[in-house]
Amino acid sequence: MAQVTGGGAGTGAPGRLRAAVSFAEVPHVAAPVGSDDELLAAALPWLEEGLRAGDLVVLSCPPGTAELVTGALGERAGAVETDDRLCLLDTTVPDAVAASRDLVRRARGTGSGRLRVAGQVRFGDGPLDRRDGLRYEAAVNLLMAVRPVSGLCLFDRRELPAEVLAGAAATHPWVLTGGEVVPSAAFENPTAYVRRLPVPREPIEESDPVLAVDDAPSLAELRRLLRAVVQVHVPDPDQAADLHFAASEIASNAFRHGARPVSARVWADGGRMVVAVTDQGPGTDIPFPGYRPAHGADLARGGMGLWLTRKLWDHVDLVRGPAGFTVRLSSRLR
């Protein structure tokens, strides 16, 4: 059991827990590192303690980091699983959340019943990639709050921009630094943190849209117009079908759950596409909508529109503004 003084583990309350004792009661820890030696000094004790405790131990890192860590583990590496979906490497947030839930279920059959994860943060190069990554890190605090999970997130100062490094302290209740786990003084309520994140605009949104619809007369007509513009501007037929299906789901939500008028704008330049659907309704206050189906595992109950959209588009943002409630979709075209 972890020895904490002055505060409860995982609460962000004042206190200090020595890394040399136990990590088991610390659910979400950021570890800023600046060299391979620092990375190994953070990751190895975390993984080794999990192996000794009988946890299901998972490493989620890009291939180079995974090779570094498993090489240092030596014979013990065979007891550590790898799953790069948890660090958002070439996958979507809904798929990462689903993978985490599957691992939690499997962990219940281990000696300790716990899941232990060490992952390296690498969100991508663009502002929207970084925003989505930080939003995911904030969401983890809620999505896994009541589950037996301990996660160590490695933030490499050699490759991450300042905004992501600052986000580490804001999205993790605990920070591993100087050989100790200490509460993060900058940790924020996850929902409040995400709501204050800026929503970067795509450069193509500064150009004229390829489709502009104000007060669409019906859902069927808006779907038809979206299909036509997607077919013209998305070269890959399979991607075109996916993007149109998801955009149609968003249009359907606007008509069914929002308030008219419903408008739409589409921008495309051969490399990217952005779709914005706006209605006059209040939108949703659900924290992190679309990270998993609205009604859980029972997909027959519906509530999959935003979840599917997050799986099919690279970026999904829900924005309230003077024009109304907007769902903005963005994807790179292949």
pLDDT tens for 118-128 read: 999 988 889 99
| Token pair for 105 | 């279920």
What pLDDT, on the 0 to 100 scale, is given for residue 137?
A: 97
Examine the domain organization and report whether 25 and 165 are in the same domain.
Answer: yes
pLDDT at 180: 86
The answer to whether position 308 is within a domain reads: yes
> How many separate domains does the chain show?
2
Q: Judge if 176 and 73 occupy the same domain.
A: yes
Could you say which of 195, 218, 245 is where a domain stops? 195
Give the per-residue pLDDT at 5. 34
Q: Give residue 249's pLDDT.
A: 96
pLDDT, tens digit, 9 for 90 and up, residues 286-324: 778 999 886 565 555 556 899 999 999 999 999 999 999
> 271: buried, middle or exposed (CB in 10 Å: 19+, 13-18, 0-12)?
exposed
Same domain, 105 and 169: yes
Place of tokens 């986000």: 167
Contact (CB, 8 A) for 163 and 132: no
What is the end-to-end Cα distance of the chain in Å, rounded?
Answer: 50
Residue-number span of the structural domain to which 62 is assigned? 4-195
Is 164 in the same domain as 270?
no
Average the pLDDT over each of 69-73, 194-198, 257-261 and give the range with the smallest value: 194-198
| Confidence category of residue 333, pLDDT binned at 50, 70, 90 | very high
- The answer as to whether 202 is a domain residue is no
pLDDT given for residue 300 in this prediction: 54
Is residue 137 domain-shared with residue 283, that is, in the same domain?
Answer: no
pLDDT given at position 175: 94
pLDDT grade for 47, boundaries at 50, 70 and 90: very high
Query: Are 246 and 140 found together in one domain?
Result: no
Given 172, 195, 218, the domain boundary residue is: 195
69 in any annotated domain: yes
